[in-house]
Amino acid sequence: MGTLEHGNKCSNAQMFKCSNALMNSINLPAIEGGKPVRKDFLVFGRPMILKEEIDEVLETLRSGWWGTGPKTKFFEKEFAKYAHAKYALALSSCTAATELALDILEIGTGDEVITTPLTFVSTANVVLHRGATVKFADVDPNTWNIDPKFIGKTITKKTKAVIPVHLHGRPADMDAITKIAKDHKLYVIEDAAHAAEAWYHGKKIGSISDFTAFSFYATKNVATGEGGMLTTNNKQWFETAAIRALHGLSADAWNRYSAYGFKPYEAVYPGYKINMTDIQASLGLPQLRSIEKSSKVRTRIWQEYQKAFSKIESLIIPATDEANTVHARHLYALVLKPEMFKVDRNRFVAALQEEGIGCGVHFIPVHLHEYYRKTFGYKLGDFPESEKIGLNIFSLPIYPTMNKNDVSDVINAIQKLVDYYRK
Ligand SMILES: *Cc1c(COP(=O)(O)O)cnc(C)c1O
């Protein structure tokens, strides 16, 4: 006769059965019929909307000026200051900002642009919008960012620009990238959608390259619903960008002719319609003011995750920060070592959702998306480092309104699933 901890009496054979049942009742994943770690679902991301944001938006609504106006201009000034950039242009998205940068640099048909496959599709899509060719350079297996050594191998006579992405908020190897770009006369446009708070070797992201594009999409660290920012230190590029972002209408033309009576604005270029509105800027301004405070909370959660998950042998955790850089802590991602699991990433992520933990995938490598496979003939094996990460990666909730219990629920759910699904 054996006695289980909770006092049930079982025979040896029964005891095996009982303890198995007991174990299952505690550790069976919800997706397999067990009890979830959380009753209420922990969403993957949630923008922080406080009184400041609401008041600022109401003030704008009541002012009667909703379009691109004083709030947008002020947001640009404040963001330029924050990013240590000479100029900042507020736009409708990071995607639009990146495409506009390519337009200003006159990159189009016949040109090649190099980027990482381990990014959101928009980074590559905009190159195609311009009629240019996108070339991928594989990532560093340690940092998950574009590997300068692969950039070097991808450059041809047609290469005009590189778009490094600061994946999850970790700055790419900008010293090496800047040097390669200089040596081969390439432009650099940074995709800093994840990296508003980041610093690289003592320099603020936004101040380094020809252009830097930021995102204020609803899930990003500074969120305005939809929105983006393009920074540069080049006055002429900035002025041209401002014109092209709003139909290509030139205020200069207005000034030139207005002395002779009323003349409407003239189009000096077939411009885009990708301006930011004052309503969006009203959300951005207070968020920019609280960004460093939020960043501290994100960093605390990050450290708790690192501490917990470094003990789990079957998981790859994010690399430690490089000296003299600041990680923006936008996304915290884990990578499964697939050979150590009975299930694949998609099943693992589905199971995590069933435990009540929202999660995401950042990112499926771009070359493996249907359009890229079908149009360019890309296939599994083309960029093995990106694939090893992108096919096994998933991101966990990391945002300032999470409390201690939320964080420990995430950790417990991961531990539970790892225990159950490990080979
Ligand atoms: C979100 C994101 C973008 C696109 O940002 P939008 O503002 O939605 O256009 C671009 N690149 C990366 C890496 C992103 O995560």
* Tens digit of each residue's pLDDT (9 = 90 or more) over 20-52: 545 555 599 999 999 999 999 999 998 889 999
Mean per-residue pLDDT, 316-327: 97
| Number of domains forming the structure of the chain | 2
Average pLDDT, the chain: 93
Does residue 10 lie within any of the structural domains? no
Distance of alpha carbon 81 from alpha carbon 207, whole angstroms: 10
In 3D space, the residue among 330, 350, 346 whose CA is nearest the CA of residue 197 turns out to be 330
Domain extent at residue 120: 51-289
Predicted pLDDT at 4? 38
Segment 138-166 mean pLDDT? 98
Give per-residue pLDDT as tens, 371-382.
999 999 999 999
- Asked if 360 and 168 touch (Cβ cutoff 8 Å), the reply is no
Q: What's the pLDDT at 48?
A: 86
Q: Is residue 358 part of a domain?
A: yes
Q: Are residues 204 and 265 in the same domain?
A: yes
- 35 and 103, same domain (yes or no): no
Residues 77 and 202 in one domain: yes
Is there a domain that residue 11 lies in?
no
- 226, part of any domain: yes
Ligand 1 centroid – CA 122 distance (Å): 7
Atom of ligand 1 nearest to the CA of 191: 11
Is residue 267 domain-resident? Answer: yes
Per-residue model confidence as pLDDT tens digits over 367-419:
999 999 999 999 999 999 999 999 999 999 999 999 999 999 999 999 999 99
Q: Please give the positions annotated as active site.
A: 220
- 256 and 173 belong to one structural domain: yes
42 and 55 assigned to the same domain: no
Distance, CA 227 to ligand 1 centroid (Å)? 10
Say how many Å lie between the CA of residue 299 and the centre of ligand 1: 21
Residue 39 alpha carbon to ligand 1 centre in Å: 32
Residue 12 lies in a domain: no
**Residue type at position 28:** L
Q: Assess if residue 5 is contained within a domain.
A: no
| 296 and 401 both lie in a single domain | yes
Atom of ligand 1 nearest to the CA of 119: 13
Among 100, 122, 166, 194, residue to substitute to test ligand 1 (most atoms within 8 Å of Cβ)? 122
Residue 241 φ/ψ, nearest 5 degrees: -60, -40
Domain shared by 309 and 199, yes or no: no
pLDDT number for residue 257: 56
Please say whether the dihedral angle defined by the alpha carbons of residues 319, 93, 368 and 379, taken in this order, is positive or negative: negative
Residues with CB under 6 A from ligand 1: 93-95, 119-120, 122-123, 165, 191, 193-194, 215, 217, 228
Task: Output the pTM of the full model.
Answer: 0.93
| CATH number for the domain that contains residue 234 | 3.40.640.10
